[in-house]
């Protein structure tokens, strides 16, 4: 981007912002440098809110002029705040800035402090009622602290000042810590928001640890002594030392404009097949309606549309129609498509899922259809939200949770190349689904993919999904562990590779 910010630009941008937006940009720019000064600036900005005239951004620009990326930091902050119209009015290309800064991906930050970006996204996820509950909980937890303002970013600045929030620093190797805020979120039943905070902290601290390991490795490399060149001989090839290969693992090709096909089969209601030839396959007890599956369906549709896929959605199909739908999805795959994804939301038993007519279908049969020669070399992803058994860790009745399964004995495994099969639970156990919020596995999968797809490949994302799902507990202390089977031969990213 060749366009550079001038003082006139900065003055225009600042005084076009509302007071709430000024709070946000002060938070993003000053939060890690001098949060106490940021609170003083906001006091001044509040007094000037009637006229709208402030100069704190111009002052910041002058203070930071010796830094070569001060203008990038302002532009990134405004892009994170999605001030697209304002940036266009100032002569900038908003689409170009979005492509440069990835504003909606909380873990990626180039100039703004990554933890401040994540905390800004956290604030944006809260409604007024949630903010009020959270502030009361923080005051109770911190004891002698009283907050006079109910703007969440101002509250966060206070927490940074008294070190209840530690932003961390990659430069000095200091880790971030949001335990006080995360605990308050859980205490006020903001579970998704608390998980989001946990995710951004883990991502930041993981990068800090990697930098420390890298620095340590560099320090441990011994200095080679000065040896005359005559001491080396190349006459004997067997004595030569080969440098280890450092070439990275290859990645599958991915382009959003031709991402491929997603087949989503959502089974909500079930009936008992009347065909006498199939009666013996029907489970002894009727299958219940799968309340909450609509939430999972909507989450998956929104996610894969965002990633660029063409969606095929089928609902309440029989066992035969289910197999036909998979075959048709395979046939719709074009040579230019990058991948095929099949999502099955249904009741199940070990190695099987049920059609709406209560007849089970072997997942292995679905894989065999997906293992078409026309898809050779392309990644094939199968996501299964269904039980693989009936066992739960606790027999305590669960008022808001159900499970997607019944007894079963057959075991299956994937033996196909370029396959990834992600089950919501390990063999022999039930898969927990909240009747209002959707299943633990699908909701966590969608959240983690949306958070990390621009920076991480699918196996690392699924590792995070397994970790977070395994840490959840139901009302009766129930838990579950997803399982992933992979024959992927490359890394699978849902974004173009450089």
Question: What is the SS3 assignment for 26?
Answer: helix
* CATH architecture of the domain with residue range 256-392+414-487: 3-Layer(aba) Sandwich (3.40)
Quick one: DSSP state of residue 287?
P
> In sequence order, what E strands does 40-141 have?
none
Give the global pTM.
0.49
Which is nearest to 206 in space by CA: 450, 486, 467?
467
- From first to last of its 498 residues, the chain has per-residue pLDDT tens of 455 788 888 889 988 998 899 999 999 999 999 999 989 888 877 777 655 678 888 888 888 876 667 888 999 999 999 998 998 988 888 888 887 887 877 777 889 999 999 999 999 989 999 999 999 999 888 876 677 667 899 999 999 999 999 999 988 889 999 999 999 999 999 988 888 899 889 888 887 877 666 555 444 544 434 433 333 333 333 333 333 333 457 899 999 999 999 999 999 999 999 988 888 889 888 999 998 899 999 999 999 999 999 999 999 999 999 999 999 999 999 999 999 999 999 998 888 999 999 999 999 889 989 988 888 889 999 999 988 765 543 333 434 556 566 544 343 333 357 999 998 887 766 667 777 788 888 999 999 999 999 899 999 999 989 888 887 776 666 677 888 999 998 999 999 876
From the CB of residue 327, how many other CB atoms can be counted at a distance below 10 Å? 14
SS (H, E, C) 376-408: CCCCEEEEEECCCCCECCCCCCCCCEEECECCC
> Are β-strands 380-385 and 339-345 bridged in parallel, bridged antiparallel, or unpaired?
parallel
Tell me the C-alpha distance between 281 and 261, whole Å: 31
Among 278, 270, 260, CA closest to 386:
270
**Cα 174 from Cα 108, distance rounded (Å):** 18
- Domain locations in the chain? 7-212, 256-392+414-487
Judged on CB neighbours under 10 Å (0-12, 13-18, 19+), 479 is middle
Active site residues per annotation: 347, 387
With CA atoms as reference, report the closest residue to 495 among 447, 452, 445: 452
């Amino acid at each position: 981007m060749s366009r550079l910010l001038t003082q006139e630009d900065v003055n225009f941008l600042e005084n076009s912002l509302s007071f709430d937006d000024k709070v946000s940009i002060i938070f993003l720019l000053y939060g890690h440098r001098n949060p106490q000064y940021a609170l003083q600036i906001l006091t001044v900005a509040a007094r000037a809110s009637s006229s709208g005239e402030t100069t704190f951004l111009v002052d910041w620009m002058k203070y930071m002029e010796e830094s070569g990326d001060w203008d990038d930091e302002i532009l990134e902050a405004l892009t994170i705040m999605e001030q697209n119209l304002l940036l266009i009015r100032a002569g900038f290309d908003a689409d170009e800035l979005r492509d440069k800064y990835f504003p909606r991906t909380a873990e990626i930050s180039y100039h703004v402090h990554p933890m401040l970006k994540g905390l800004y996204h956290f604030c944006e996820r809260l409604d007024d009622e949630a903010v009020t509950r959270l502030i009361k909980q923080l005051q109770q937890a911190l004891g002698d602290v009283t907050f006079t303002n109910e703007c969440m970013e101002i509250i966060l600045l206070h927490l940074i000042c008294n070190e209840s929030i530690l932003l961390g620093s990659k430069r000095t190797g200091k880790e971030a810590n949001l335990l006080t805020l995360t605990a308050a979120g859980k205490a006020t039943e903001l579970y998704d928001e608390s998980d989001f905070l946990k995710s951004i902290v883990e991502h930041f601290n993981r990068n800090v640890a990697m930098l420390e390991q890298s620095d340590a490795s560099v320090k441990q490399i011994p200095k080679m002594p000065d040896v005359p060149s005559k001491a080396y001989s190349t006459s004997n090839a067997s004595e030569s030392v080969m440098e280890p290969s450092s070439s990275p693992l290859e990645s599958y090709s991915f382009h959003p404009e031709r991402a491929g096909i997603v087949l989503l089969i959502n089974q909500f209601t079930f009936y008992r097949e009347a065909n006498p030839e199939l009666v013996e396959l029907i489970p002894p007890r009727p299958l219940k309606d799968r309340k909450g599956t609509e939430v999972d369906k909507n989450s998956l549709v929104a996610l894969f549309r965002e990633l660029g896929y063409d969606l095929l959605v089928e609902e309440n199909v029989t066992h035969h129609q289910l197999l036909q739908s998979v075959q048709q999805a395979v046939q719709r795959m074009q040579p230019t498509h990058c991948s095929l994804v099949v999502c099955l939301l249904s009741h199940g038993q070990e190695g099987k899922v049920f059609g709406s007519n209560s007849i089970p279908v072997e997942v292995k049969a679905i894989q065999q259809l997906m293992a078409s020669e026309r898809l050779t070399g392309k990644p094939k992803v199968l996501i299964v939200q269904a039980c693989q058994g009936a066992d739960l860790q606790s027999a305590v009745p669960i008022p808001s949770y159900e499970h997607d399964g019944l007894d079963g004995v057959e075991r299956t495994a994937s033996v196909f190349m370029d396959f990834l099969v992600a089950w919501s639970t390990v063999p022999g156990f039930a898969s927990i689904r909240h009747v209002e919020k959707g299943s633990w596995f699908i909701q966590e999968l969608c959240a983690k993919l949306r958070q990390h797809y621009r920076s991480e490949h699918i196996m690392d994302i699924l590792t995070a999904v397994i970790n977070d799902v395994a840490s959840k507990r139901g009302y009766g202390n129930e838990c579950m562990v997803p399982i992933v089977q992979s024959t992927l031969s490359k890394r699978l990213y849902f974004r173009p590779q450089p």
